[in-house]
């Protein structure tokens, strides 16, 4: 559609004299080209803000079908992903892989202390409460490792979607990307929850070891090791909390843009 036809189409759309407009396109949906007309008004800080968006097909016809309108406008309103985002996402995957190795290693040794030795001694001495706590602790380490592996799989899928969006904006890919980010967030929150639960187990283990006065040298070494482990876990939690915040920010932005699409659609119907 030639630019000379825009003026004729815009003249049929109701808009006030204090509004300006701009045209973007072509935008593609299922390999079909579309153009968008953005009507803007100057705000309090003299910056323009959008008040309505109208979508045209290649014949200059106004698109009123919600299914088509939503897909095109949502793609346009969402900030474009960049190579930097892909790099940051890859860096997070590497960081999470390192965290997984940390929990893998902790199943055998916590900062040099072999937890299985303490478990065997507790079994020999019939300290069944301690046996149960230590076994629960080891089981949680295994579960956390598995949960991290699941999240890493989600992140691999997300990275594929990111690379697709870098090549070309597609509605289906954008929706898939948002779903994958949501899966990641819930998976990472689950890891965070289990790490927090682990803190309670550690508290009871340390108390029992101190109260029972198990072999003094071993007891001292264990408590030193567990304190170092807790210090490491604090750093892990900070990194995980930041990952959760990042994903929540993306999802908030996505939902905000989706609500904007609905608002612009209603305004478009009024004007056309």
Q: Minimal CA–CA distance to 262: which of 70, 13, 72?
A: 70
Does 240 have pLDDT greater than 80?
A: yes
Phi first, then psi: what are they for 14, rounded to 5°?
-70, 125
Local confidence band at 122 (pLDDT 50, 70, 90 cut-offs): confident
49 and 137 fall within a common domain: no
124 and 164 fall within a common domain: yes
Instruction: Answer yes or no: is 109 within a domain.
Output: yes
54 and 137 fall within a common domain: no
58 and 89 fall within a common domain: no
The pLDDT assigned to 59 comes to: 84
> How many structural domains compose the chain?
2
* Greater model confidence, 13 or 245: 245
25 and 97 fall within a common domain: no
The residues, ordered by sequence, that sit 6+ positions from 212 with a Cβ below 8 Å of its Cβ are 127, 130
90 and 146 fall within a common domain: yes
8 and 91 fall within a common domain: no
Local confidence band at 214 (pLDDT 50, 70, 90 cut-offs): low
- In terms of residue numbers, what domain contains 9? 3-63
92 and 59 fall within a common domain: no
Instruction: Answer yes or no: is 239 within a domain.
Output: yes
């Amino acid at each position: 559609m030639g630019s000379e036809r825009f003026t004729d189409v815009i003249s049929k759309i109701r808009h006030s004299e204090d509004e300006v407009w701009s045209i973007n396109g072509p935008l593609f949906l299922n390999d079909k080209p579309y153009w968008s007309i953005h009507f803007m008004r100057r705000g309090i800080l003299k910056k323009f803000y959008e008040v309505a968006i109208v979508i045209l097909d290649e014949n200059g016809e106004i698109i009123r079908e919600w299914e088509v309108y939503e897909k095109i406008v949502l793609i346009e309103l969402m900030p474009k992903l960049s190579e930097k985002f892909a790099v940051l996402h890859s860096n997070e995957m590497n960081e999470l892989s390192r965290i997984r190795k940390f929990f893998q290693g902790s199943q055998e040794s916590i900062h040099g202390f072999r937890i299985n030795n303490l478990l065997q001694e507790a079994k020999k001495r019939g300290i069944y409460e301690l046996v149960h706590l230590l076994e629960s602790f080891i089981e949680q380490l295994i579960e956390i490792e598995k949960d991290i592996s699941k999240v890493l799989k989600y992140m691999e899928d997300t990275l594929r979607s990111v690379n697709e969006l870098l090549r070309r904006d597609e509605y289906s890919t954008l929706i898939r990307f948002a779903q994958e980010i949501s899966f990641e967030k819930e998976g990472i929150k689950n890891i965070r929850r289990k790490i927090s639960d682990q803190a309670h187990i550690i508290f009871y283990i340390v108390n029992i070891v101190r109260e029972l006065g198990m072999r003094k040298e071993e007891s001292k070494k264990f408590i030193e090791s567990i304190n170092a482990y807790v210090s490491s876990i604090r750093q892990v939690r900070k990194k995980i909390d930041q990952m959760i915040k990042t994903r929540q920010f993306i999802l908030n932005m996505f939902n905000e843009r989706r609500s904007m699409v609905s608002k612009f659609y209603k305004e478009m119907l009024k004007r056309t």
